[in-house]
Amino acid sequence: MRMDVWIEGRDSPVGLLSRADDKGLSFVYADGVAPEHRLSLSLPLRTEAYSDAECRGYFANLLFEGPQLERILDSYQLERGDVGALLWHLGADAPGAISVTPEGSGPGKTPGVFPQDYTLLTEDRLTEILLSLHLHKRLPDDTRDPSPVAGVQGKIAVVAQGARFYLPKSGSRAPTTHILKVSPVDDAQITRSEVALLKIAETCGIAVAACQPLEFDLQGRQFHALLSTRFDRTVQSSDGVGVITRVHAEDFCQALGLPPTLKYERGSVNPDRRFSVAAVHRIGAQASVPTLFQRDFLQHTLFNLLVGNSDNHGKNGSVIHRDGGTSLAPLYDVVPVFMDRTVTHQLAFWHGAAEFAEDVTQDNLRRLLVDLGFAKPPLARIIKQVAALAQTIAKAAPGLATKDLADALHAQAKVIEAALGTDFALPPRDYYDRINRDDRATNVGGWGGFS
């Protein structure tokens, strides 16, 4: 099997992906590809082909778990590890600006022209989709997600215009602009909490993926949802017509050449091949402004620590490649994992030697700074930064979060305060029964509604 690999906006493929009879992969760049059109930080431009070991991790990340994958596996009797054969069938819908298509068949994606490339979701059809996402965490059986998004929470990619939602027309290859997430019936507050935490992050001066809360009352069921603006899209409008374009981005696993199975640091037994702070530092060293990348990633990490989001794994952070440069993507997918008593609260990546928030001592914070590339870790200044973040969160939470979440955030901050041996000077709040490490967790998997 020989497949063209495309980045939207280019008139020709950036390279050729081959799948051998033994299911091994190889990838070679096309002649004349400019540096800004490299596929990934993990696959820098070169003339010689990349071997299976060198490129499999990147291409494995272009496949999503879900009904479309299951349908192809069953229909063609393929193995999950047969990445090349799966991309032959599914690569046109790979994430972001990338598409993989049979050689000579053309790109899988093109910019979209709104409204001509899109179909309005009728009220009845939207109701059917929303209820299926709410009740079953998946789309109706007859609905194909036009732009699959990683994770197992119920969601669909759409174009949003006010209160109206549109899907790309079949065969248009056009992009979407928003992600519509729906709270499942067994976790009714999750999207509400995510919106609150991202709004609090904005208050802290952190760039976030813009989102807004939604509420639906359909067929006697009331539930929450959120609408998130995609940071890997651009929209240019004139006289009521919009041109929607995908922007090349990749998550940390892709940028490191790690398969999705290694998205948590605990998932690897090889210290040289794992998702870690040191690995993120290597990504940041290739950014347009490494010091800004370092500063912003540290801010994301400290905020996630304070709000108990221990699911900030290698697929919940991304870099954007734009105008020949590389930068850290806005913060997204922030959820209060520590409030869920059925999953592990182990950190997605070690903070120094700390595997839990309770263990982020001053020494472990210093070690995290060293891993992130600080030659002389400014520990005292960073502890003041943590305290300032905690105070801003405490001030913003009552107006943006439910009382239960605000109380929980206070309890989480007190844990970090105790671990660091300092005083955040936080105002008191009602008691929240926060579990210690995994004392009462019953499942050692990742966050229950996200992956």
Per cent of the chain over pLDDT 70 is 96
Please write the tens of the pLDDT for every residue from 10-57: 999 999 999 999 999 999 999 999 998 999 999 999 999 999 999 999
Report helix, strand or coil for 145: coil
The pLDDT, as a whole number, for residue 440 is 60
pLDDT number for residue 152: 61
Banded pLDDT at 444 (limits 50, 70, 90): very low
pLDDT for 210 beyond 50? yes
Q: Kindly report the CA angle at 438 between 349 and 308, in degrees rounded to 5?
A: 55
For the chain, give the mean pLDDT.
94
Is the pLDDT confidence value at 198 over 90?
Answer: yes
Distance (Å, rounded) from C-alpha 275 to C-alpha 108? Answer: 30
Alpha helices in 289-378 (DSSP H): 290-306, 362-371
* Residue 445: pLDDT over 70: no
pLDDT at 388 over 70: yes
Helix (H, G, I), strand (E, B) or coil at 234: strand
How many CB atoms neighbour CB 373 within 10 A? 20
Whether 391 and 426 have beta carbons less than 8 Å apart is answered as yes
pLDDT in tens, 410-431: 999 999 999 999 999 999 999 9
Token couple for 362: 């001053």
Tell me the per-residue pLDDT of 74-99, one tens digit each, with 9 for 90 and over: 888 888 899 999 999 999 999 999 99
Distance CA 102, CA 98 (A): 14
Q: How far apart are CA 296 and CA 231, in angstroms?
A: 16
Domains of the chain listed by start with CATH number: 2-102 (no CATH), 112-246 (no CATH), 249-420 (1.10.1070)
Residue 67 has pLDDT above 80, yes or no: no
pLDDT surpasses 60 at 144: yes
Q: Exposure of 134 by Cβ count < 10 A (0-12 exposed, 13-18 middle, 19+ buried)?
A: buried
DSSP state of 277: H
Average pLDDT over residues 212-237: 96
Q: What is the pTM of this model?
A: 0.93
Q: To the nearest 10°, the Cα dihedral for 157, 161, 164, 167?
A: -40
Cα gap 450→147, rounded to integer Å: 18
448 pLDDT above the threshold of 50? no
- The pLDDT of 344-367, averaged and rounded, is 98
143: three-class secondary structure by DSSP: coil
Question: Residue 115: is the preceding peptide bond cis (ω within 30°)?
Answer: yes
